[in-house]
Structure 1
Amino acid sequence: MAALWSPVERGPARHYAWGGGNDGWHLVQRAGLSVIAEHVPPGGRERRHRHALARQFFYILSGRACIELAGKDVALAAGQGLEVPPGLPHQFMNPYDEDVHFLVVSQPTTRGDRTDD
């Protein structure tokens, strides 16, 4: 229970790199809930994919991004978010000239629940 009252922050133990230059930090990593802080530099993107079970919410902290969701591009700026229901193909990308920092909240976790398109 003591961990419930301990602040969580980004740090080396929580860090992972993905997609050649993108960064993620696991802030909450449980079977029923995942919260990840991520950074994508200009030109960065993830592979188009879908999740069978996980519902995700992307929230932009700083910068801008675009999420392709089932064939439609949705532009997001700081202070905006987008919910991605299970089963819909999507791709996060940063086509802009500035870094983007954002949160990805997934319920349940996406571990083992991803299919690349």
Structure 2
Amino acid sequence: MANKKYHIQKSPFVVPTTDGKLIEEHFGNATDGNSGISIAHMIAPPKWSEPFQTPEFDEYTYIIKGKKQFIIEGETIVLEAGQSIKIEKNTRIQYSNPFDEDCEYIAICLPAFSMDLVHREEQ
């Protein structure tokens, strides 16, 4: 039997969280050891937020439903379903969902997300 040239991800790695956010990594460091790219499906609950961070990776976000707030170098931006954004590496950013409904989105990081590269600030 020949080696398959594809991999269907049926069991993404569910990242343990303490803030109610669902993170399902489909490809990346935690799932398949790929440090070049990470692709994750996320659901941020209402009133969720993360500390400011200055990651060493580009991050692309596509909003599936709800709204997500970004504070990028001091500028506040809100994206809605169907919109997407690319945030360049070494940019100070805070992600949050200050709204009253879940925000479902896809996040892609190049290179892959890792705690060693995200540089979250102390709260």
Instruction: Flag as ranges the 4+ runs of structure 1 deviating above 3 A.
Output: none
Aligned-pair distance for 1:46? 1.3
Query: C-alpha separation between the residues in 2 aligned to 1:74 and 1:58?
Result: 13
* Structure 2 residue 42 is matched with structure 1 residue 43: no
TM-score, normalised relative to structure 2: 0.84
Aligned-pair distance for 1:92? 1.0
Partner in structure 1 of residue 31 of structure 2: none
TM-score, normalised relative to structure 1: 0.88
Aligned-pair distance for 1:3? 6.7
Q: Which residue of the other structure, out of 93, 97, 104, is the alignment partner of 2:96?
A: 93
Structure 1 or 2: more strand by fraction: 1
Greater C-alpha Rg: 2
**Would you say the 8 A contact 1:19–1:46 is kept in 2?**
no
* Structure 2 residue 74 is matched with structure 1 residue 71: yes
Query: C-alpha separation between the residues in 2 aligned to 1:51 and 1:102?
Result: 19
**Once the two structures are aligned, what percentage of the paired residues are identical?**
19
Q: Which runs of 5+ in 1 are unaligned?
A: none
Once the two structures are superposed, what CA deviation does each residue of 1:51-86 show, in whole Å capped at 9, x if it has no partner?
12x111011011111111111111000001111101
- Output the amino acid matched with 1:99: D
Q: Which runs of 5+ in 2 are unaligned?
A: 29-33
Aligned-pair distance for 1:93? 0.5
CA pair 92-19 structure 1, distance change in 2 beyond 3 A:
farther
CA pair 5-116 structure 1, distance change in 2 beyond 3 A:
closer
